């Protein structure tokens, strides 16, 4: 379980995730896992919630799709979602993936969904989050954006949002990794 949050604000995108790995419901086995990483020549960042082995499998498949579609994030995401629904191996994977680049944020799920977050304002702000603390992080990011905190960067918004979720959700910690474009 984990928390991943992505935000688009003032023409920039960022994604953040915590580092906690929990075995079952009782044991924190690691607090510094890197669940947010750059792929495709550092042009795309992904964050995943769910089983680590499943997430790495999805990352590999997604990178193949990005290569096949020359880095077209939306096309690669739809192709991954289609395969995820059809391929018997992928169907068993239990993870969710948020992918961002310099212009887009997408949530990719195992039900074949590719979701672009709603736009919150005329400025084009967007927020989406997944994982056990996802609702908390999404609420925090939305509140920060709604409060008109012009002094906050997109990086600070995602970091603060995951940190707030870490104060509420027992499966999320305060070791936050941020990637931005």
| Residue among 2, 3, 160, 172 flagged as catalytic | 2
Average pLDDT over residues 70-98: 86
pLDDT classification of 146: cutoffs 50, 70, 90: confident
More confident position, 72 or 56: 72
pLDDT of residue 149: 65
Top-ranked range on mean pLDDT: pick from 19-23, 72-76, 87-91? 72-76
Closest to 45 measured CA to CA, from 10, 7, 11, 9: 7
Active site residue 29: no
Longest dimension (CA), the chain: 48
User: pTM score, two decimals?
Assistant: 0.92
Q: Which pLDDT score is estimated for 151?
A: 77
- Residue 17 CA to residue 30 CA, distance in Å, equals 14
């Amino acid at each position: 379980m984990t928390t991943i949050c992505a935000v688009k604000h003032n023409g920039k995108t960022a994604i953040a995730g915590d580092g906690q790995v929990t075995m079952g419901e009782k044991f924190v086995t690691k607090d510094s896992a890197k669940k947010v990483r750059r792929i495709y020549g550092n042009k795309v960042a992904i964050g995943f919630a769910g089983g680590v082995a499943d997430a790495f499998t999805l990352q590999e498949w997604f990178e193949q799709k990005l290569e096949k579609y020359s880095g077209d994030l939306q096309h690669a995401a739809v192709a991954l979602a289609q395969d995820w629904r059809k391929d018997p191996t992928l169907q068993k994977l239990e993870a969710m993936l948020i992918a961002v680049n310099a212009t887009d944020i997408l949530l990719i799920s195992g039900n074949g969904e590719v979701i672009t977050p709603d736009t919150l304002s005329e400025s084009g702000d967007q927020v989406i989050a997944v994982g056990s603390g996802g609702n908390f992080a999404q609420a925090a990011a939305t509140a920060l954006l709604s409060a008109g905190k012009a002094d906050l960067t997109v990086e600070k918004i995602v970091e603060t949002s995951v940190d707030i979720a870490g104060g509420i959700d027992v499966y999320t910690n305060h070791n936050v990794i941020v990637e931005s474009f």
